[in-house]
Chain A
Amino acid sequence: MAVHCPLIAQEGVIITGSLTQNPLQQPLGELPVIEFRGVYKTYQNGTHALRDVNLKIYKGEFVFVVGASGAGKSTFIKLIVREETPNAGAVSVNGFKSGAMTRRDVPRLRRTMGIVFQDFRLIPGMTVFDNVAFAMRVVGASNFDIRKRVSSALNLVGLGGKARSRPNELSGGEQQRVGLARALVNNPSLIIADEPTGNVDPNMSYEIVELLTEINRRGTTVIMVTHEHQLVRDFNRRVVMIESGSVIADSAAGGVL
């Protein structure tokens, strides 16, 4: 423990600095769950998707990521889940640092987070129950845990009664709630959702975000990319705006940078 003390003190200094302009930020001394430091991402074809992104997200935060199409939002998400690696700078997520990760660390990192897809990614041949259970099976959970946890995840998203249904028997909103249950079932400390309401009826979008805020209230950090400005306004959470690969506004840092 003693070894870590100077580190925490160091972080503390940085945080004190930002606290003056950032009343929403987390208590002094806490390490960020996600930190981007001078991150650049350029794709193979030369597209500069992110430029010099610096950002900290703390435990228990709910962050909307917004911006025009092609701004770099999905790239930002892909760097968090280690779908892509930065060309310069450092990304640190739940203690995994981009520069120091091996290939074996990738599944370890992903087990600390739950991912929600815009296209739901439900397996058509499986029941709702099996779709959620799948996420537990493939990381080696026991049948006992699977039975217990899948039911409670389905109850949490309000689909306890639909366990035996097939995905094609559900509405878009319901399908995404199954996706949410699957992201939650392994008890991650972080939920990542890239346009989770993109394929959902606007009325249903509220339900989804409602659920995400409920999950967030229980302590899970949530990062959600969205195009729906009305949603962002109504839920009044931290908003990070990306334009042409740069973070141009962050409500946590007092609005426009």
Chain B
Amino acid sequence: MKPQSMSYLTGEGLKNVWVNRMMSLASVGVLIACMLLIGVAVAFSLNVDKSLGTLQEQNVVMVYFEDGREETANLQSIDEIQHMDNIKDAVYIPKEEGLRAQLEQLGTEYEAIFSWLEEENPLPDGAMVTLSDLSEYDATYNALQALPGIKNVNGSRDVAMMVTTVSRIIGLAGFWIILLLMLIALVIIANTIRITIHNRRLEISIMKAVGATNWFIRIPFIVEGMALGVISGVLTTGLLYLVYSFATQSVNKYYPGQLELVPFRSFYLNLFGIFIAIGLFAGVAGSLVSLGKYLKREGSAFGAIH
């Protein structure tokens, strides 16, 4: 297609947005509502993820070696653990260090009472193992247990399961919510385009009569749909910025130091990308849906125009 035709057709599409402005305004409003919901859902899940992430990082598994093993054997096991699947980190904790840490936790008053333990340390040598993916907790736990020279493995399975379940639910719900809102966006745009098509049926009948191809007829409507989607995406990002700033301020005021929201700038570009993608998809698909029906059913150059 010639660039000249392309710019003419694009111009017609943008003009439609303005000519049909009441309907454009209404559909941009609904699209913004949809996208805002997506944005809030994403921001919410990012913040939940972040707090789960802190939990997750704290969730380490303690591995204890059998008594009477050589230090070299223990270090070799650590090396082996570090190369296993789903292991983020493994730090060796000799029993002396373990005891010192525990005594420190008890506080100075008890330190003296239990100091005799240092002579006859009852603790085994161990390792602090951090998992990379908590949803694989059971498998990793069993694999660690199965290693030679391991007395036992201590971890908090419940926390692992909780974290896994919560993030799975958030992921799944987010997926369906986004899909649903995308469909709503598509229907809204399709409806707006249907009205434009109705307003432009005279032009369409002439276009058909003089031999314009269906693509030529479609382009202005696709442009209109895309424009509605993009306008909504831009406005939603701006609105979300305002809403999120307000939320951040409130959180800082009422929970100072306790809760910290993920900063807007760390995710807004991705979100903007999602909005534009949704807008473009809904715009193109919505206008094609409406046009497909129209071009098939009313593909008439001659029929009376009502």
Contact = CB atoms under 8 A, between A and B. Distances in A.
Contact of B206 (A107, A111, A134, A194): A134
Contacts of B169: none
7 closest pairs, A vs B, by CB? A110-B211, A111-B211, A138-B212, A107-B211, A135-B210, A140-B5, A115-B209
A21 B302 CA distance: 35
Given A109-B211, A123-B203, A123-B206, A138 B216 contact: yes
A110 B302 CA distance: 13
A119 B212 CA distance: 20
B211 A137 contact: no
Interface in A73-111: 74, 77-78, 81, 83, 104, 106-111
A77 B305 CA distance: 18
B206 to A, nearest CB: 6
A109 B213 CA distance: 11
B210 A111 contact: yes
A243 B77 CA distance: 101
A211 B4 CA distance: 33
B112 interface: no
Contact of B8 (A83, A106, A137): A137
Contact-size category for A: 20 to 34
A83 B211 contact: no
Contacts of A111: 210-211
Interface in B199-248: 202-203, 205-214, 216-217
A143 B212 contact: no
| Interface size range of chain B in the complex | 20 to 34
Q: Chain A at the B interface: mostly helix, strand, loop or mixed?
A: mixed
Interface string B295-306: 000001111110
A139 interface: yes
Interface in B260-306: 300-305
A205 B217 CA distance: 33
Contacts of B211: 106-111, 139, 186
Given A81-B302, A83-B300, A110 B208 contact: yes
10 contacts: A77-B302, A83-B302, A110-B210, A110-B211, A117-B209, A134-B206, A138-B207, A138-B212, A140-B2, A140-B5
Contacts of A138: 206-207, 210, 212, 216-217
B1 interface: yes
Interface in A169-227: 182, 186, 194
A83 B211 CA distance: 12
A208 to B, nearest CB: 18
A115 B301 contact: yes
A147 interface: no
Contacts of A106: 211
A104 B216 CA distance: 13
Contact of B205 (A121, A182, A186): A121
Contacts of A194: 302
Interface of B: 1-2, 4-5, 8, 202-203, 205-214, 216-217, 300-305
Given A119-B304, A194-B302, A186 B210 contact: yes
Nearest to B302: A83
Contact of B210 (A77, A119, A139, A142): A139
A110 B209 contact: yes
A186 B210 CA distance: 8
A176 to B, nearest CB: 15
Contacts of A182: 206, 210
A145 to B, nearest CB: 10
Contacts of A104: 213
Nearest to A144: B4
Contacts of A78: 302
A140 B212 CA distance: 8
Interface string A128-142: 000000110111101
Nearest to A121: B206
Contact of B305 (A74, A81, A114, A119): A119
A121 B5 contact: no
Contacts of A140: 1-2, 4-5, 216
A107 B295 CA distance: 13
B8 A107 contact: no
A123 B142 CA distance: 77
Contacts of A143: 4
B213 A107 contact: yes
Nearest to B2: A140
A135 B202 CA distance: 13
Contacts of B4: 140, 142-143
Contacts of B214: 107
A140 B303 CA distance: 25
A105 to B, nearest CB: 10
A124 B301 CA distance: 18
Contact of A83 (B1, B5, B210, B301): B301
